[in-house]
C-alpha cells in the first residue's frame, strides 16, 4: 500500500473508529471484520506474501511507509491542536516511561495476571500434555472424555477449550498492563470528560477472564483427576477478576465501539 491508499483507508467512514482498541484480537471469530480498519490493513499485507515476509525487503518498505504516514498524520493533528512536537523533551519523556514500566509491572493486577499465564504454561507443559495429545488425536468416538465434553453447554471440543485458554492467557496480562498504564499520568480536564481508555482495556481483560474461567470450568469437569490444579487456576483467575473490578470499578460499564453499541 502506498501513502495515499493508507490515508484513504484511514478516512473510510465505513470503519468503526477505534474498534480494534477494545477487541480481543481474535479476528477469525469477530463479527466486525468488514468494519475494522486494522483487519483491512492486515489483510492488504497478508494477501501479499512478500509484504508479510519479515525477511523480504518489501516487508520493511511497507512498515516504513506506515510509520511515515503515521508520523505525517500525527504532525497534522498536532498542528491542528496547536501542539509543538519539537518542544517535547524526549529524554525526559523516556525516563518517565521507564518509571511507569516499573510501576505497571509491579501493580498487583499485572503481577497476578503474569502469575496466571505462568500457571497456564506450566499446566500445559507438564504431564497434562500427553493426555491432551491422546485425546486430540482421537475422532471423539473412542474417547469417553470427548463424549463427556460434547455434552456440556458452551464449547464443544477439548481443542476449542484449549484454544480459548491459550488465546487469552497472555492477552489478559497485556491488556491489564495497558489499563494500569492508563491510570498513570495526569489527564487534562478535557480528557477527564471522555470514557477512559484504562476502563476500556480493563473491560476487555475482564471479558477474557470470564471466558477463561468458563473454559477452565469445562476443563475441570473433563480432567477429573487434575481437579486440584484446575481449581487453583480458577481460584487464581477469580481473584484477579475481583481485583480488576476493584481497581477499575467503571470498567464493566465502558461502552466499546461496535461491540457494545
Ligand atoms: S475488531 Fe475484530 S477484526 Fe478488528 S482487530 Fe479486533 S478482532 Fe480483529
How sure is the predictor about 209, in pLDDT bands with cuts at 50, 70 and 90?
very high
User: Nearest Cα to 176, choosing from 224, 257, 115, 128?
Assistant: 115
pLDDT digits (tens, 9 = 90+) for 64-79: 877 888 888 888 888 8
Distance 26 CA to ligand 1 centre (A): 6
Q: Is the CB of 26 under 6 A from ligand 1?
A: yes
pTM of the model: 0.80
Give the per-residue pLDDT at 189. Answer: 56
Report the atom number in ligand 1 closest to the C-alpha of 31: 2
Q: What would the grid cell of residue 1 be?
A: 500500500
Q: Residue 94 above 70 pLDDT?
A: yes
Q: Is the CB of 25 under 6 A from ligand 1?
A: yes
> Within the chain, what is the greatest distance between any pair of CA atoms?
69
Length of the chain counted residue by residue: 261
Q: Is the CB of 39 under 6 A from ligand 1?
A: yes
Distance 24 CA to ligand 1 centre (A): 7
Give ∠ CA 120-253-175 in degrees, rounded to 5: 30
The residue nearest atom 1 of ligand 1, judged by CA position, is: 20
How sure is the predictor about 139, in pLDDT bands with cuts at 50, 70 and 90?
very low
Distance 197 CA to ligand 1 centre (A): 17
pLDDT digits (tens, 9 = 90+) for 40-54: 988 887 777 777 777
User: Nearest Cα to 198, choosing from 246, 257, 250, 243?
Assistant: 250
pLDDT digits (tens, 9 = 90+) for 14-67: 999 999 999 999 999 999 999 999 999 888 877 777 777 778 888 888 788 778
Mutate to test the pocket of ligand 1, among 19, 24, 45, 208 (most ligand atoms within 8 A of CB): 19
The residue nearest atom 8 of ligand 1, judged by CA position, is: 27
Q: Is the CB of 117 under 6 A from ligand 1?
A: no
Q: How far is residue 251 from each of residues 107, 198, 199, 205, measured CA to CA in Å?
A: 17, 8, 4, 10
Q: Is the CB of 204 under 6 A from ligand 1?
A: no
Give the per-residue pLDDT at 127. Answer: 57
Segment 183-210 shows an average pLDDT of 83
Give the per-residue pLDDT at 132. Answer: 55
Give the per-residue pLDDT at 131. Answer: 53
How sure is the predictor about 149, in pLDDT bands with cuts at 50, 70 and 90?
very low
Whole-angstrom Cα distance, residue 85 to residue 224? 59
Whole-angstrom Cα distance, residue 203 to residue 197? 10
Whole-angstrom Cα distance, residue 20 to residue 104? 22
Helical ranges in the chain per DSSP H: 3-11, 37-46, 57-80, 90-106, 108-125, 128-136, 144-150, 158-183, 189-192, 197-222, 227-247
Q: Residue 197 above 90 pLDDT?
A: yes
R_g of the chain computed on alpha carbons: 22
162: DSSP letter:
H
252: DSSP letter:
G
Give the per-residue pLDDT at 56. Answer: 83
Amino acid at each position: 500500500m502506498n501513502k495515499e491508499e493508507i490515508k484513504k483507508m484511514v478516512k473510510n467512514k465505513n470503519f468503526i473508529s477505534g474498534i480494534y482498541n477494545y477487541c480481543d484480537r481474535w479476528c477469525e471469530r469477530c463479527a466486525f471484520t468488514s468494519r475494522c480498519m486494522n483487519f483491512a490493513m492486515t489483510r492488504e499485507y497478508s494477501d501479499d506474501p512478500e509484504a508479510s515476509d519479515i525477511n523480504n525487503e518489501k516487508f520493511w518498505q511497507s512498515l516504513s511507509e506506515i510509520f511515515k504516514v503515521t508520523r505525517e498524520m500525527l504532525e497534522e493533528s498536532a498542528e491542528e491542536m496547536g501542539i509543538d512536537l519539537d518542544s517535547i523533551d524526549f529524554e525526559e519523556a523516556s525516563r518517565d516511561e521507564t518509571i511507569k514500566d516499573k510501576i505497571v509491572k509491579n501493580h498487583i493486577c499485572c503481577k497476578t495476571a503474569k502469575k496466571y499465564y505462568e500457571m497456564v504454561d506450566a499446566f500445559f507443559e507438564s504431564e497434562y500434555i500427553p493426555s491432551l495429545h491422546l485425546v486430540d488425536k482421537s475422532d471423539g468416538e473412542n474417547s469417553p472424555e470427548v463424549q463427556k465434553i460434547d455434552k456440556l453447554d458452551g464449547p464443544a471440543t477439548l481443542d476449542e477449550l484449549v484454544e480459548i485458554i491459550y488465546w487469552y492467557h497472555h492477552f489478559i496480562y497485556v491488556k491489564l498492563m495497558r489499563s494500569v498504564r492508563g491510570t498513570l499520568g495526569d489527564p487534562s480536564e478535557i480528557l477527564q470528560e471522555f470514557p477512559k481508555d484504562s476502563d476500556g482495556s480493563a473491560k476487555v481483560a475482564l471479558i477474557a477472564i470470564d471466558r477463561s474461567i468458563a473454559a477452565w470450568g469445562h476443563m475441570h469437569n473433563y480432567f477429573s483427576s487434575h481437579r486440584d490444579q484446575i481449581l487453583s487456576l480458577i481460584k487464581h483467575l477469580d481473584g484477579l477478576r475481583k481485583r480488576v473490578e476493584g481497581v477499575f470499578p467503571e470498567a464493566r460499564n465502558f461502552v466499546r465501539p461496535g461491540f457494545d453499541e
